[in-house]
Each structure stands twice: as C-alpha cells, then as structure tokens.
Amino acid sequence: MTRGYPKTDMGQCGADFGREQGDAEEAILREACPEAATRLQNKICAAMAFGSFRIASRPAKFYLASANPHKAVELQALADAGRVPIEIVSAREVGGMPAVTEDAGTFEGNARKKAVALRSNAPSGSWVLADDSGLCVDALDGRPGVESAYYAGPQCDSAANLSKLVQALRDVPARRRGGYFVCVLFVAGPSGEELAFEGRCNGRLLDSPRGAGGFGYDPLFVPDGYESSFAELGEAVKNRVSHRARAWEKFAAWARQL
C-alpha cells in the first residue's frame, strides 16, 4: 500500500520511520552513523510526502480449500505469472481439507461451504480461497451444472460423466447445443469478508468427443470463436479463455490491492 503525507513534518516522519523500520534498527544506525541515519530518515520522509514510498510487506497468504494439492501449485504458478503478490497454501498445511457435502444448489454456495469448512482449521487471521465449477447445457436446463463432477453417479469417474452427457445430447440438434462452463472463486477473509468472483466461457457441445488433452468435459466443448474443442486447443489457449481463467482474472485484480 502506498502511503502519502500532505506535510513533511519531521517529528511525525521520525515517528513513522521508527515504526516502519523498527526502533532497534534505527537506534543501531543512529549510534553507528548519526549523519547517515538522519539522511535516510529525510529521504524516507520526502518520499512519503510525495506518495512514492512503498512499504515492503509479506504477500497475503491464502489457504486453498481443496483436497487436491496440485491445484495449489497450479494457482501459485498463475499468481507468479500474473505478478499477484499472494501465497497459495495447500490445505494439507492445516491438517487437510475437511469433508464437505456440496448441496448448496449453486456454484457460489458450494464454494462458500468449502471456504467456511477450511476456515475453521486455518490459523486465525487467515484468508481462505475455494472454487466450484461445472458445465451447464442449455438443452438440458442447465445440467449437469453443480452436479458436473458426479453427473453419472457419486462413484463414477469423468469418463462415465462424459459418456452420459454424450447420450443425453444424442438427439439434440446443433442449433440447441449451446452451453457454458462456469467457475466461482470464493474468498473468506480474516475479518468476516466474503467475496465471489465468477467466470464464464460460452460455447457449444459437439456430437462426440474430440481431442486427447484436457480433462472432464473438455473433449466435447468448443468455446465461442473457435472450431476446436478444449481438448484440442491445448493448455495455453485454454488458460486464456476458460471459465477458470476469467474468474482468476477478476480475483487477481482484487488481490493486487491487498
């Protein structure tokens, strides 16, 4: 946070200097070289007066409400690449992700339940980040939606989910095969803050899966503006246009202000 002062009162600046640099460090510097300490103090005061002095601080730490430790690594890579000054910490660091029944009925509601569940385990004063995402198909009244991860049943895998969706759309004409992916990133803050950042990616569903990349429903989904499925486009393109990328962009813009 940039601090600016309308007046260059040296007494006030001296107090600020002591607080920001540390009384012990200031005392040592003054004893060793009083003139250097005074010059440094004056430079800091002048910079603060013109709003150009930036206080160095540790990056905000976000505990990720996910049982997947690799997701924390992926999000940290996004943060580093976008120069977002935060640290993403796996739930494993606080004993693991508690079990959560995702029955809120909305993406935001499910993400909130995850964040609140982990917040009880995280250190006092911590930020918690959670997400929920899925695919909504127009011709199926928004399904699989919040049930995207277990569309074919709670014990089924992504291949079974994809197969069920292909069958559900078997007789649906091309003009009615629209849909969108949605992702909600939810933040629970140390003072009771709750914020949600939503990203969507509109597109259409193919008759049959195409491509070997990606995961989940990626082989069946073609984003608007493209002719290839997410599974064919590759990670570089997907990371620019996906629902998760768009939600992250909104979150990152907010996080940079911390």
N residues, the chain: 258
Q: Tokens for 216, please give them.
A: 């989940």
- Which pair of structure tokens corresponds to residue 185? 């990133």
Q: 169 - beta bridge partners?
A: none
| DSSP labels, 114-180 | HHHHHHTTSPTT-EEEEEEEEEEEGGGTT-BGGGGGGTT-TT--HHHHHHHHHHHTTT--GGG-EEE
Q: Is 132 a catalytic site residue?
A: yes
**118 touches 91 (CB < 8 A):** yes
The answer to whether the beta carbons of residues 247 and 197 sit under 8 Å apart is yes
Cβ-Cβ contacts under 8 Å for 137 (sequence gap 6 or more): 143, 144, 165, 168, 169, 177, 178, 179, 205
Give the neighbor-by-neighbor strand order of the sheet with 86-90.
86-90, 60-64, 127-137, 178-188, 194-205, 221-223
Q: Identify the active-site residue in 103, 132, 157, 207.
A: 132
Strand ranges in the chain using DSSP code E only, listed in sequence order: 60-64, 86-90, 127-137, 178-188, 194-205, 221-223
Query: Strand pairing of 194-205 and 221-223?
Result: antiparallel
Query: Catalytic residue positions?
Result: 132
